[in-house]
Chain A
Amino acid sequence: MAVTASTSVLAGLACCLALTVPFGVPAQDAPERVTSDTPEFCLHLLDQVSSIVRDATAPPSAEVTNLSAEGQKMCAHGQTKGGIMRLRRALVLLRSQDAGR
């Protein structure tokens, strides 16, 4: 009796879990490299920030200045991920300021 009860419970939950299994094709063995976490991308972002600041009619806000400076420093010290994140935020702020004007 217990075996049957347990089997029915397992079967029921297995069905439920099967319905919710991720629906993608199985992953491959060799991972594809993402290039937006590299120091090159960090420099690319820094160039973009500098370009926008340079072309802007008004000086950037202190927050943008701080973020870009921190990003540049972190990228230079090998903390690429953190640096990229700050430079991205600086870029988003600059774009939003541009859109505001």
Chain B
Amino acid sequence: MLPTGGGHGLPSAPDGVGSGDGRGRGEPPPVPETPGSAGPATPDPAGSPLAGSQSADSPLGAEQAGIDPEFPPAAGRHQDPDQAHRLPMFRSAGFRFAAIYAVLLAVSAGSIGYYVWWATAGLLDRQVEAAIGTDWQGLAERWAERDVPGLVQTIDDRLMQNVDDDAIYLLVGPGLHPLAGNLERWPITVQASGPLYELDVSRAGIRSLAMVRSYDLPGGYHLLIGRDVQVRAQLRRLLTDAMLWALVILVALATVGALVVRSLFRRAIANVSATATAIAAGDLGQRVEISGRGDEFDQLAEVINDMLDRIGRLMDGVRQVSNAIAHDLRTPITRARTRLEDAALHAETTDDLRAAIERATQDLDGIVAVFQALLRIAEIEAGSRRAAFTRIDVAPLLADLAELYGAVAEEKGIALETDLPGALPTFGDSTLIQQAVANLLDNAVKFSPAAGTVRLGAALGPTGVAIRVADQGPGIPAGDLDRATQRFFRGEAARHTPGSGLGLTLVQAVAHLHGGSLRLEANPGGGLMAVLSLPLPEDGEQSNRDVTRSPLA
């Protein structure tokens, strides 16, 4: 049941790598100066890469100056914000949006225009067709009943009773000889039965327009039925004129609207584009301006700004970790080198040499442990262990740890008191939780004075499990509490205590992985109290599902 991971703070692996909790962060142990060790062991004249000697010429200095050394603002990389506006027209998104607006407007207006036409002029045409069809049905019945004389009589009657004065009939016999109707002769243009013909007619000397259709009758007879549509044609002409004017207005509106849409689009993205260009040029402090309207562009700006803030924090973290690694590893490497060099120069026996090599190996093991701890933290922060989460009970796990560290504390004359309930259900990885609590207990035992007391308590609350580890050590100054979980952070009080400043970092990573938190506060009885909060099983499962589904996970 022992936690793994390079022995972070566990008594079984007292390498001191994972147990430093930051309350002793300070300068590294003094490096013994020996002849010949000053050169390679102290490459930095200022004594530390953090001594503030960086200039803008160095990569680090360039980063601190807000310029990415990998992407200097060379002339070829810098893009004028206006350059985006000089894109070829058809590649411009603004043009596409404007064109889409114009097309949508045209389609909408065209649809409305077509409906208006269909409901007016189209309706008149359909009425004419229906009237001709109805006429034909009646006349065909009369032809079937009484042949030619009956049809002639019916046509004559219909013409005489045509109050609307719009009917046109013509019955012709073989040879197109007129028998009845009100047309002087068979129109030359009407060649076949079936289609509807437009026919120019003269009514009392006035030119008019008619729609006619021809029907073939047995015996070589032909019947022409039509309607005068002059009034309808005038109405249609008025409609056509109105539609054409509407078309002109529509084109003007579409053009103006498209220009406005393109202008709005360009203005909306100009802000983001300018910020991105400035950042690409190395000004990482630039942020997208938020208009305050709370619209989609403001939301986008907020997301981009959050992203830039996070990138900035990550870059700061990487920079700080890089510096800390270089700073903290220099001491053991220098120490190992010094031991080996000293042994090479002064060892008189084989045993002296072997002892020097063993001590140097221990120093190098410490370095390896630091890297293992860093990799472990990185693995936890990456979230790859989330897939192994299950419902677990933390209570027996804490009891095992209390038993284990009770013995260690007893050796140092420290009392370990526990206050653990019977069950502490949560959702997570028991190994990681065990490792996190072990780190807290290791810190507490390490920093508690002799005859002190370390208290391990846990409680099940409405929001989850809270695990408390309190000691009576020097504690952490209030000003350092926020930084205590940063990698390699060690407070002043822990200067002479073994450790690397990664223990609390790992605990916090475990807490965040589980959707919980790590809170550090002053112990009411003196010392430090660390509270590791873990969610309830249901909340943990839901959080795990959400994180797993998220594409950003």
Interface flag for B243 (CB, 8 Å): yes
Minimal beta-carbon separation of A89 from chain B (angstroms): 6
Minimal beta-carbon separation of B213 from chain A (angstroms): 9
Point out the residues of chain B lying under 8 angstroms from A29, CB to CB.
200
Chain-A contact segment, one of B96-104, B270-278, B349-357? B96-104
For chain B, residues 175 to 208, give those with C-beta under 8 angstroms from any C-beta of chain A.
181-185, 187-189, 195-204, 207-208
For chain B, residues 90 to 126, give those with C-beta under 8 angstroms from any C-beta of chain A.
95, 98-99, 102-103, 105-107, 109-111, 113-114, 117-118, 121-122, 125
Point out the residues of chain B lying under 8 angstroms from A26, CB to CB.
198
Interface flag for B165 (CB, 8 Å): yes
Per-residue contact bits, chain B 271-295, to A (CB 8 Å; 1 contact, 0 not): 0000000000000000000000000
Residue of A nearest to B161 (CB): A92
Known A-B contacts A32-B185, A88-B160; A9 and B243 likewise in contact (beta carbons under 8 Å): no
Minimal beta-carbon separation of A25 from chain B (angstroms): 5
User: Given the complex of chains A and B, what is the CA–CA distance between A32 and B200 in angstroms?
Assistant: 6
The total of chain A residues at the interface (CB under 8 A) is: 45
Per-residue contact bits, chain B 233-254, to A (CB 8 Å; 1 contact, 0 not): 0001000100100010011001
User: Given the complex of chains A and B, what is the CA–CA distance between A30 and B243 in angstroms?
Assistant: 30
Interface flag for A77 (CB, 8 Å): no
Q: Are B255 and A88 in contact, CB atoms less than 8 angstroms apart?
A: no
Q: What are 10 A-B interface contacts by the 8 Å CB criterion?
A: A22-B236, A26-B198, A31-B201, A33-B184, A33-B202, A34-B184, A35-B182, A41-B182, A48-B160, A85-B165
Known A-B contacts A22-B198, A27-B200, A32-B201; A13 and B209 likewise in contact (beta carbons under 8 Å): no
Q: Are B254 and A9 in contact, CB atoms less than 8 angstroms apart?
A: yes
Interface flag for B446 (CB, 8 Å): no
Minimal beta-carbon separation of B167 from chain A (angstroms): 8
Residue of B nearest to A80 (CB): B204
User: Given the complex of chains A and B, what is the CA–CA distance between A24 and B189 in angstroms?
Assistant: 11
Q: Are B110 and A85 in contact, CB atoms less than 8 angstroms apart?
A: no
Q: Are B109 and A27 in contact, CB atoms less than 8 angstroms apart?
A: no
Interface flag for B163 (CB, 8 Å): yes
Residue of A nearest to B247 (CB): A13
Point out the residues of chain B lying under 8 angstroms from A2, CB to CB.
255, 258-259
Point out the residues of chain B lying under 8 angstroms from A89, CB to CB.
163
Interface flag for A36 (CB, 8 Å): yes
Q: Are B162 and A34 in contact, CB atoms less than 8 angstroms apart?
A: no
For chain A, residues 34 to 92, give those with C-beta under 8 angstroms from any C-beta of chain B.
34-38, 41, 44-45, 48, 80-81, 84-85, 88-89, 91-92
User: Given the complex of chains A and B, what is the CA–CA distance between A25 and B188 in angstroms?
Assistant: 12
Interface flag for B23 (CB, 8 Å): no
Give the 7 A-B residue pairs with the shortest CB-CB distance, closest first: A5-B102, A36-B182, A24-B198, A9-B106, A37-B204, A31-B200, A31-B202
Per-residue contact bits, chain B 204-225, to A (CB 8 Å; 1 contact, 0 not): 1001110100000000000000
Interface flag for B168 (CB, 8 Å): yes
Minimal beta-carbon separation of A10 from chain B (angstroms): 7
Q: Are B165 and A24 in contact, CB atoms less than 8 angstroms apart?
A: no
Per-residue contact bits, chain B 148-185, to A (CB 8 Å; 1 contact, 0 not): 00000000000111110101100000000000011111
Point out the residues of chain B lying under 8 angstroms from A15, CB to CB.
110
Residue of B nearest to A36 (CB): B182
Minimal beta-carbon separation of A52 from chain B (angstroms): 10
Minimal beta-carbon separation of A96 from chain B (angstroms): 10
Point out the residues of chain A lying under 8 angstroms from B125, CB to CB.
22-23
Point out the residues of chain B lying under 8 angstroms from A30, CB to CB.
200
Point out the residues of chain A lying under 8 angstroms from B258, CB to CB.
1-2, 5
User: Given the complex of chains A and B, what is the CA–CA distance between A44 and B157 in angstroms?
Assistant: 11
Q: Are A10 and B247 in contact, CB atoms less than 8 angstroms apart?
A: yes
Q: Are B259 and A13 in contact, CB atoms less than 8 angstroms apart?
A: no
Per-residue contact bits, chain A 3-26, to B (CB 8 Å; 1 contact, 0 not): 011101110110111011011111
Minimal beta-carbon separation of B166 from chain A (angstroms): 10
Point out the residues of chain A lying under 8 angstroms from B183, CB to CB.
32-35
Contact partner of A13 (CB less than 8 A), chosen from B109, B182, B198, is: B109
Point out the residues of chain B lying under 8 angstroms from A19, CB to CB.
114
Point out the residues of chain A lying under 8 angstroms from B185, CB to CB.
32
Q: A26-B198, A36-B162 are in contact. List 9 more A-B contacts (CB 8 A).
A: A5-B99, A6-B102, A9-B247, A22-B236, A32-B187, A38-B204, A45-B160, A48-B160, A91-B161
